[in-house]
Every structure is written in structure tokens, then in C-alpha cells.
Structure 1
């Protein structure tokens, strides 16, 4: 039974880097459900990876830091689809420059902050704008955020405010698109995941291990669990959900005073 109802529907997935990527897991769920997945990646190297992982899926290259690239890849995908509408777009793109190591938030460099906003947040707005004519009237756009933008983790730094801007953009896009369509915009907000991108964050492994202890089931969140939520939001089954940020953290966020963690801290 096709529970999700995505079989035969076209979904564009931005952001696959390798087999551990959230974008890869989302695409895998969609392909298994019968969707027609189109990958958009940042470089030729990642395109080769995408072709190996998904040999039957078209792959295009687009560095979203340049808006002209988004317009170009839109036109390329339009030619590929030959008039068939897009039913879903996944935005799994984020970048922060941690090359200088961890800095106090007040010492954030302007160029680093603006670059992170451009790639991690504005790209979602730009993709929505430039792809709007290709979207089916009741299609779905999903971006990937984080479980909370209010927890001030030093090693995540200025990316939390950037993700907060992304989640706010979800709401404003849902509102502005409602003037001419029923396109839905939502965000999946997972807890800490074991991805290659996350490994680039200084001190991430320690945070990941702590999060696992704080999770109610004492097991870390799986990338597949975040992907399943994204697939649901892309499907007609979630037609009543719009402008939302869905937290997927297996209960980590409500377990602040976990007895085991408290005992180890004050014991």
C-alpha cells in the first residue's frame, strides 16, 4: 500500500553530500515509496557520489551561493521534466565557517554571519521564488533546521540564529505563497545527528554523546527518523500542516533534569 501517496511524484532534493547526509536519507525514503527524485548538489564530486548512490535519479549541480546558479538549475530541471510539475522540494543546505575555531558569539565576523545566512537561509527563499512556476498547486517544500534555536551551545555559535531566521522564513513563505497557491512550507528540526557535516563542528562528538544520554530512550536520533518526517511532510498525508517547525528529537528537549545526568553533574 502506498501510504504516503508519493508514487510517481517528482521531488527535487537539494543538498546531498554523501551517504550520511540528511538529504541522502530523505531521497532514499522517497525512492522506496516510488517518488521520482531529482538531486541537486553543490559540486561535480558530489554529483558523482549522488549518481553512485542513486543511479536512476537525475543529478544537477548548483552552488546556491550564486543566485544565477539557482535560476540555471531551475531551467535545466524544467527541461528534464518537460512540463511535468514538481510536487516537492527538499532544502538540506547549511554552511558555517568554523575555520578560525570557536569564537565568542559577540566576536562573530560579519562576513561569516552573512555568508551563513545567504547559504543556509536565503537559498531556501530563493529556491522557492525561482521554482514557484514549476510547483504543483498543492506541493510541499521542506527545509532542515535544528531541534532548538534557543539553546546557546557555544560550539554551534552563530548558526543557531541563522536557523532561527530559516524557521521564521518558513512561516513567511507559507503566508506569501498562500496568495496564489496551496504550496506548503515546513521545517524538520532534528536533534543531534551523526552526519559528516555535523562532524565538522568543533566539539560536536561530545555534544552528540551528551544528547544521547539526555534522550529519553538513551539512544541517539537516527538520520532515518528525521528523513521519515521529511517524507511525511512532502506527502499529501500532511496536507493540513503548513508553516510549522516539527521537532524530531526522541524527547531530548524535555529531559533537561534527567536524574542520571544530574547525579553525574552534582555528585
Structure 2
């Protein structure tokens, strides 16, 4: 048997704690887009959803990443019909994911978007110097794909639901070395507010989640990211760095009926860093 990571063991213990009682997400169907490995924020959210009773569908980027995500899908109990390739830059792949969900489940309650990308030369340069193609690519992958997900999820969320996307404090304030992703994440948060307004009458809630800095695969693309983590640990009121478990638990709460009248806000899971940063 494969040894569990500390995060996986945390949620296995949690499942045992709630065993025998209906979890707050019991019977819910959740799609997770953006798990790259067992350190991904999206994986922390998927584990939390599963621990509280949800069934999981998930995607992987391509054949190269499948070897890293297949064991995670197995741990989450994701069947082959709902473990699907999804590169939002490849025409038809995102649509195929939602088509499979419609055929298999006939509904969807939770959809989580945790993908972002900018070409390295644009990400590491000044916003002033960002190329047009680089900016458009970053906006397409990191922002517009969430709007596309919302459109595809809407008809499946027949009884309402919750849509999540991952942002960062650099959307609100200038964070050194975050560069072009700052404007892109700002656009993502604004888009989420408009989606919340438009989909609210159907009982669909929308949240950008803004975690503090976490050492994920995506974070390695940000120049001097270790300095951001050090600053957050020193300045956050909690004096602690956030973990993927922390983000997962908060997101699971927002996905539950306990949070049915919370929508449209950017939810910070950062130990309070945004109030002093």
C-alpha cells in the first residue's frame, strides 16, 4: 500500500472523525481542475471535499502529468470516466469534461478552478514590458477559462452550487516579483464578482479564494518566491504560513449549505496577512 502523505493522513483521520454521520457535503458532486501533484492547493481542496462526503471528478493537464496525478485520483476514488485530460488551450477539452459529468452524474454541485499560466519571459519581466501575446495567454488560461467553466457548470447546477477559483494578494496590492499575474488575478476576482451577481438567482455562489503563499509547483515560476513566504510568516498576525489543508477546510465550508448566503467575496486564507501586508 502506498504510504500516505501528511496531508492525506490528516484528511483520512478527519473522515474517521465524521464517520457514521452525514457530512456537510454528503451526496455533492465536485469537479476539481488544476491538481498537479500532492502539494497542489486544489488537491487540498479535493481531499477536504471528499472527507466531508462529496464525490470527486478531476482533470489532469496532459500525458506527462498523468503519472503524478493518477495516484491522487485513485486515493480520491475518482473513476476512469471522471478522470479526464484538460488543457484549456486545447479546443474542446474543457467542454468534454463537462459533457462527461453530465453523462455520468447528470448534475454538479461544486467546481474548483485552480489553473494559471503566463509565459516565463513575461512573468519575470515588468508589467510595462509584457508582450501582447504573453498578456493574452495569461488572461485566457488564468481568467477567461474560469468564465468558461462557469458557463458550462450553470446548466448542471440545477439545485444551485458553488464555483471557486484561486487568486492571490497580488491582485489587490503590488507584490514584488508577482508582475503580470497581479493584473490577471485582479481581472479574475472582478470576473468572479460579476459571475456571482449573474448566477446568484439560480443559487450558484462564486468565490475567489486568496491563500497566503504556499510552496506549490505553480509558485516555483515566481521569482524569489521564498522571500514572499518568509515575509508572510513574519508579518501575518498568525505568524504562520497557510497550508493546503487550511485552504481545503475553508473552501469545503464555503461549498456547504452552512455558507449558502455567502457569495462574491474574495476569501483570504492567509493568517491575516492581507490586513497588514
Same fold? TM cut 0.5: yes
Of residues 75, 89, 93, the one that matches 1:65 is 89
Q: Distance in 1 between matches of 2:92 and 2:115?
A: 17
CA distance in structure 1 between the partners assigned to 2:170 and 2:120 by the alignment: 20
Greater share of helix residues, 1 or 2? 2
Which residue matches 2:45?
26
Equivalent residue for 1:121?
143
Tell me which residue corresponds to 1:168: 190
Q: How many Å separate the matches in 1 of 2:200 and 2:217?
A: 36
3-state SS of 2:223 partner: coil
The structural deviation recorded for 1:192 is 1.0
Structure 1: 4+ residue segments shifted above 3 A? 1-4
The two structures, once aligned, show a CA RMSD in angstroms of 1.8
| Matched residue, 1:45 | 64
Alpha-carbon offset, residue 47 of structure 1: 3.1
Match in the other structure for 1:98: 120
Which residue of structure 1 lines up, in the alignment, with residue 179 of structure 2?
157
Cα distance change on mapping 1:76 and 1:101 into 2, 3 Å: closer
Alpha-carbon offset, residue 101 of structure 1: 6.5
Q: What is the alpha-carbon distance in structure 1 between the residues aligned to residue 91 and residue 197 of structure 2?
A: 23
In structure 1, C-alpha distance between the alignment counterparts of 2:91 and 2:249, rounded to whole Å:
30
Rounded Cα–Cα distance in structure 1 between residues aligned with 2:144 and 2:123: 24
In structure 2, the CA distance between the partners of 1:151 and 1:211, relative to structure 1 (3 Å rule), is same
Q: Distance in 2 between matches of 1:235 and 1:227?
A: 12
Q: Secondary structure at 1:237's aligned position in 2?
A: helix
Q: Find the partner of 1:12 among 13, 28, 31.
A: 31
Report the secondary structure of 2:228's partner residue: helix
Kept in 2, the 8 Å contact 1:171–1:244? The answer is yes
Given that 1:140 and 1:185 are in contact with CA atoms closer than 8 Å, whether structure 2 keeps it comes out as yes
Partner residue in 2 for 1:111: 133
Measure, in 2, the Cα distance between the counterparts of 1:101 and 1:225.
Answer: 27
- Deviation per CA, 1:26-68: give whole Å up to 9, x if none: 0111111121011022112333322202312131111112352
**Against the structure 1 CA distance between its residues 236 and 137, is the aligned structure 2 distance closer, same or farther, given a 3 Å change threshold?**
same
Residue segments in structure 2 that go unaligned for 5+ positions in a row: 1-17
Summarize deviations over 1:77-118 as a string: whole Å, max 9, x none.
22222x2x1111011111122246722221111111110110
Residue 61 to residue 224, structure 1, CA distance change in 2 (3 Å):
same
- Compute the TM-score of the two structures, normalised by the length of structure 2: 0.85
Aligned residue for 1:86, secondary structure, equals: coil
Q: Is the 8 A contact 2:236 2:270 kept in 1?
A: yes
Q: TM-score, normalised by structure 1?
A: 0.88
Q: 2:210 maps to which residue? A: 189
Deviation, structure 1 residue 148: 4.5
Aligned residue number for residue 104 of structure 2: 80
Gaps of 5+ in 1: 257-267
